[in-house]
Structure 1
């Protein structure tokens, strides 16, 4: 089947749209992809919506700016699909399904609550293509973490690689997550801790740009290792997989322990980058065996300072997704196209070892275009 996957991650920097051909079990082709960056107005709206989401107690609640943000991102996701189709000279009739992740604004699996805004029916009607959305809800309702969702996709991809096992596939978005794979075993997966979110927010406040371009600021700074160790004392890092995080989970905790207000931009960036690397490395102690190969994707893959810190703390080489024929930028978008096909076929999206679900579970809601 030919699917388009859509991803707007916790970094809130834009929409990735990617074409994939798959039967939901194997990947025939990772097709073209594009990114539509969010403008400053949309990013501000999403940040406001995320703040308003803190008071949400039910998945259907849309207080404050949430309703406006939901309409806005649905429209923009439709535009992203059309832009990808136009670039490939394809029509909606050429696509079997769209996998629509939406924008996570609240993730509290401890309260059986995860909220991804996005209007699946409106997107299906707009595009005239079936849409699978709301992919996390069934897992959370069953007692799972609802994240990460992509391990079954990583498993399909890694089957085609000749790398020493276990293989760890690491995605560094706003939150970082890892999938650990070994032949004959179910994937082990979890969120590892803050990915780019804390660093992006810090850089936006200090420089007006919501990222540290290639880790340039961090490369000039000094890491406060004692402060990093204080953050790693948080109980989350001592907990074994599966486990997951809200984007803002560590905001207050880190602010209290890193004391970045008086730090230079370079030292703050270095310390936050080191925190991301150290929190990823901390998961190794919870695994049956340390991964022998690491593949990194997501926005963090573009940060050479972070990659170097990771390699130093892990003690093994860290490959960028492109080195194994994948796209670091589009990997999660490809994943949601894959998951949409699995959902159509009733195949499992999550497992006890990836989200803590009681059994392998399918998920997602199918929206057919209305006449």
Structure 2
């Protein structure tokens, strides 16, 4: 890693996504003009029992008590702070050299369309700031929800700042637990929305039937055949027909949702192949309906490492070039973590971090709460 330039600022971004497969930490260097580069990135695994609890909560399970939620809030904060400190130690950078830390936290509920809309990410910013020694910006999503938005997705503003082109319509596709698009037209507003499951169901089904946390290289799916009748039942889900803006999570697309649509005699590998086709087809259908002139799809997130999934998406979008964000200077494994470093920078500068056309909020809002070091 090269040392920070004298005219640049260092920020940290941390996120644990819907898959809760680890805490992504990105050390990001920002130039005065806002251009950024990843100085260092690493994923830190959750402690096994804590991860199991987070996955259960994220999939709709209830906390046993207010005491449990309160303690989880601090446990998660400690894990985030420790990950940040460990990365800085590896990089040989003192916490005092980092301007701020942007923490997404861990989503345990996302209900933007409830009677009293809310979204809830655990990971107390007070505890992160105290334990890390770094000014912390956290709780980014709830202000957007308070303004009538979905609180998600928030990363499109970062995509637009870094990846928009004046010569071609582009789309950024994040393949996390849930898939989401950022549409970057040459003319017109940036838009973004979730399309449905990317890896969430693939990972969960693979773990149940093979013990592996994810389907490495798509090998499990490659052993199966697509069950067209099952695919049709899955695609019957009304959520897929909703227009943007829309968002979702593991609390909607989880194994119980899948199980209720199975006959019970399917081969496990055929279900895996069908789930991969579900992800690819809902992604492709969404892009064709919302930005049919897209010339380039820039892919990031864990799914970028699944060649079968990328191949199916590319086959369904023959008019577009499907390629990794790595070819455009953004490490696909750390784009979202980098985005929260960028969002922290926007918050401290008093600039809005949301895009109302993306989230559905009533207007631009400065996001997050600031916890000084």
TM score, norm. by length of structure 1:
0.91
Gaps of at least 5 residues in structure 2 are: 1-8
CA distance in 1, matches of 2:143, 2:222: 42
Greater shift, 236-245 or 281-290, is seen at 281-290
Listed one character per residue, the Cα deviations across residues 94-134 of structure 1 (whole Å, up to 9, x for unaligned) are 10000000000110100211000001011101111110000
CA distance in 2, matches of 1:23, 1:215: 38
CA distance in 2, matches of 1:143, 1:351: 12
Contact persistence 1:148–1:190 (CA under 8 A) = yes
| Structure 1 match to 2:92 | 89
CA distance in 1, matches of 2:295, 2:271: 31
Contact persistence 2:154–2:355 (CA under 8 A) = no
| Structure 1 match to 2:228 | 225
Tell me by how many angstroms 1:354 deviates.
Answer: 0.7
* Alignment root-mean-square deviation, CA: 2.1
> What secondary structure sits across from 1:262 in the alignment?
coil
| Structure 1 match to 2:324 | 320
Greater shift, 149-158 or 21-30, is seen at 21-30
> What secondary structure sits across from 1:300 in the alignment?
helix
Tell me by how many angstroms 1:249 deviates.
Answer: 0.6
CA distance in 2, matches of 1:75, 1:3: 19
Residue 4 and residue 41 in structure 1: after superposition, are their counterparts in 2 closer, same or farther (change >3 A)?
same
| Structure 1 match to 2:336 | 332
Matched ranges for 1:57-72 at <5 A: 63=66, 65-72=68-75
Greater shift, 268-277 or 280-289, is seen at 280-289
Contact persistence 2:163–2:328 (CA under 8 A) = no
- Out of 25, 35, 41, which is 1:33 matched to? 41
TM score, norm. by length of structure 2:
0.91
Tell me by how many angstroms 1:231 deviates.
Answer: 2.0
- Out of 262, 266, 272, which is 1:263 matched to? 266
| Structure 2 match to 1:346 | 350
Tell me by how many angstroms 1:51 deviates.
Answer: 5.7
Contact persistence 1:134–1:365 (CA under 8 A) = yes
Contact persistence 1:168–1:178 (CA under 8 A) = yes
Listed one character per residue, the Cα deviations across residues 44-92 of structure 1 (whole Å, up to 9, x for unaligned) are 1213443676579xxxxx6364333322221111111111111211001
Contact persistence 1:228–1:258 (CA under 8 A) = no
Say whether residues 1:191 and 2:194 are aligned partners. Answer: yes
| Structure 1 match to 2:162 | 157
Gaps of at least 5 residues in structure 1 are: 57-61
Matched ranges for 1:194-273 at <5 A: 194-251=197-254, 252-259=256-263, 261-273=264-276
- Out of 136, 139, 155, which is 2:141 matched to? 136
| Structure 2 match to 1:123 | 128
Listed one character per residue, the Cα deviations across residues 255-281 of structure 1 (whole Å, up to 9, x for unaligned) are 32244x432232121111111111111
Say whether residues 1:305 and 2:308 are aligned partners. Answer: yes
CA distance in 1, matches of 2:21, 2:207: 12
Residue 81 and residue 64 in structure 1: after superposition, are their counterparts in 2 closer, same or farther (change >3 A)?
same
| Structure 2 match to 1:145 | 150
Tell me by how many angstroms 1:288 deviates.
Answer: 4.5
